[in-house]
A and B are shown apart, each in its own frame.
Chain A
Amino acid sequence: MNPKIKFAIAGAIIASVIAVSLVSNSESLFSLNDTTTRADVVRIGYFPNINHAQAVIGLGNGDFQKALGNVKVETQIFNAGPSAIEALFANQIDVTYVGSNPAINGYIKSDGESLRIIAGAASGGAVFVVRNDAEINSVDDFSGKKFSSPQLGNTQDVALRAYLLKNGYKTTENGGNVEVIPVKNADILTLMLKKEIDGAWVPEPWGAKLVKEANSRIFLDERDLWPQGKFVTAHIIVSTEYLKNHPDVVKKLLAAHVDETQWINQNKEESFKVFNAELEKLTGKTIPEDELQEAFSRMEITYDPVKESLFKSASDAFDIGFLGDVRPDISGIYDLKLLNEVLEEKGLEQIP
């Protein structure tokens, strides 16, 4: 086959690809991917974190499995929001506990089709910690400083950048003089100890840990920035496919979640012990009692998704430049119908 013919064939293929792209506006015409969901299995993801306490305890000690009866519970552990969202998209899990910003990203990226938030899991539990010797006494002292968040684009990362923006600072990527370095929580501790960063916006129990071990103090409790000190830091999302096909399973899961939430709030001391026991099974490590106490003092285990705080957080993320050029519409992200059914049946106040 002489080169000219090859070029011609290549040209033809490329031309048709371009034509198809322009015509179909980047939508697939068919949907051959495997979206099967099963009624007898529910695959649940969660993190070994204290703001997924209901899952750590309930999935660890069998409470959830009991509530779900014949439906087999399969679990998967994640350490970061984006991986949980990826797994959801790839139909490897059906439901997951996750932070607020990853859920927003996933919703937008799938044009609102792939997921719904069906309940809250935790509110509060994030603090802005600074080193005692970093010479930061007020918001006027941030110039030239370095701060960390646990991950680019996650809930605390957005909170930190929004806070900086609100107080007139720009990050170095945008020509400003405050550097934001997203680093894993464990590394944040190291960098604080090495004095390589001046502060960090972190979720609990890292706030408590940094104060105890890294010669730092809480500059700002994020609750102070929100009405009634409530803002969502963890919630439950489900794939729309699964929700559509198996609402009964989802409802049973929500009932278990609500029950676990109640139990934790009514048995604080014991729940700490159980949590640590389950955590040790998952990670081989536990959180010291005093840190747990302190961490919990700044957060709430709840089933309330605190909708308004999510919308505000999305708006902040857009202002920071994370969500593209068009202010996104995430009004359809919540589906609390089943949660409210559960609450009503239990005689609890519903979420509006």
Chain B
Amino acid sequence: MDNLSIVLLALALLGYVAGALLGLLGLRAERLANYGAFGCATLGALCGLIASVTGLAAGGAGLPHQVQLLPAFNPFAQFSIRPDPLGLFFTLIVSLIGLAVSVYSFGYVPSFYGRRSVGGFGAAFNVALLTTTLVFLADNVFFFLVAWEIMALAFYLLVSFEHEKEEVRGAGVLYFVMSHLGTGCLILGFFLLYRASGAGGFDGFHAIGARMATGPRHAAFLLFLAGFGLKAGVIPLHIWLPAAHPAAPSNVSALMSGVLIKTSIYGIARVGFDFLGAPPNWWGVTVLVVGTVSAVLGVLYALMEHDLKRLLAYHSIENIGIILMGLGAALMFAHTGHPVLASLALVAGLYHTLNHAVFKALLFLGAGAVVHATHTRNLEDLGGLVKRMPATAFFFFTGAVAISALPPLNGFVSEWLTYQSLLQGFGTTPSLIRLAFPLSGAMLALTGALAAACFVKAFGITFLGQPRGAAAAGAREAAPPMLVAQGLLAAACVVLGLFPPLLLRLLDPVTQQLAGVPLSPRLSLAGGLVLSGAAPAGGTVSTLGLVLMAGCLLPVPLGLWLVFGRGATVRRGPTWDCGLPGLTPRMAYTATGFSKPIRMVFKALFQPRREVQREYDFSPYFAKNLRFESHVEEVFQTRIYRPLHWLVWRVSRQMRAVQAGSLQAYLIYIFATLLVLLVIAL
């Protein structure tokens, strides 16, 4: 990293500041606000992208130790950043996603003209990008927490943008409350670290775990896991996530799923490897188990959704789970002293973080284009959009293949790395705990297959077949900026999928920093064409090679076509309708119908409720009217959060008797407290 990168990084931050100011200036001029705010955000993100890529490509060499952004009030409250490899990698993610989402917003935001404050939206958007970048770069506790809180606030404003809807307000408040619970845990955790180090700088926190007593050390780990887990939406702390993502405008959903929840992955990597270090085995096991549970349950609940954006939100929970499987395995390998394997698992987790950011942002942007065109998120009203929105359909398809972990796209590569690290982990320890690796690998396989099923549903019901409603039948293709942004991310999915050995070189300084091993020389074979599983005999894969080979094989079917089918004609005809007059969209399979077998197979978990009301004259088989209702409610909602909610209400109702609002009563309370304190003090 040289001066140019630092200048670019500063320009990125300045760009976001300028964007926020232009947004506020344009409160009354919508066009100015749109182009000013999102233009600055685009340029800022571009600068950030170049800065982080060049910084990482330079191997983190010559990184400045610290850059003071603002003068400090006091020694504790420093406003300084330190672009180290881990922070730069996450800056790369926020810049890449920020770039695509900003470009998308040029085309998306005009739908708010005349209805809402575009300027305010643009300002909050820029503040969100700015503070997220600062979270990744902050160099001391005070600055980190300030950035973290402003980030939460900015996203709260963005989520509640369409606040006249009851459900949006509810989702915004839920997000805000959960986010603050998380921050509370983080503050306590940092307090424990601060007590051991005596200063607030992240420098002093490096490997602080070795100097802490066992009790506070474990407590700090658990507090950080809970605090960051709340932000990440790991099960069972996830309830805000499927509520907030669909409530937010779609560009914000993309940003939340791509970037906001990744701040917690940054936090866990930072705390687990940089600060605490030398993890006992149960830390890794806990993270691995939490990740596995989140992955499987996340995808299962996603399958039950027929709201396109809620479905994608549950997939974020799933993918956070997959990332945590990598990080958990890495912690376990760090415990057993296998730095190469720890690096491999870390690379798997971090590469999946990047990949998930790319394909999930792509899918949310695609979903946003669909909602923009049809004004519905309900899969049961969509259909046939591949003919009306061909480009959006193609990009969404790319994202669907990537998220389903299918070769040759990026989701496959990072899950392949995860499988490799889990399989090789079996040999790291003789204890029974090693069975956890292949078993969580099997759960990863279940997750992958269910994700594929879910995206056959999401893509098939949304884009294929006949339109199921007037809204879908009249849909139009999205505006050019929206397509450009989706095209950019789709291209990123392909590049990240086909050239992993070259791109993983960017992660070398990160693994060097966290696990002490630069891994990419071990991962790359045949000049970067083939990806290897770190161990020489562990296994190899080459998505690029497979694609080239598929290209070589394609002449076989095409040649057969030419040889045999030269005279064959192609005719368009109606779909087979069993001889009934005409096939209507109501005869096609629905999203609910599609996931029915899975609902039945996992009945014990879903506990589906159905109500059927029939009106008939003489036999139930000839009903005049039929009403069918089917519900799946999350078991966490019914078993944990609802009783908790009820309990809080009950306790508050009891408390109301004390809080009568009468001045005399409060004076007595103060007097009594004083007496008690005096008695204790004396």
Answer yes or no: do A and B interact.
no
Which B residues are closer than 8 A to A by beta carbons?
none
A interface residues, Cβ below 8 angstroms from B = none
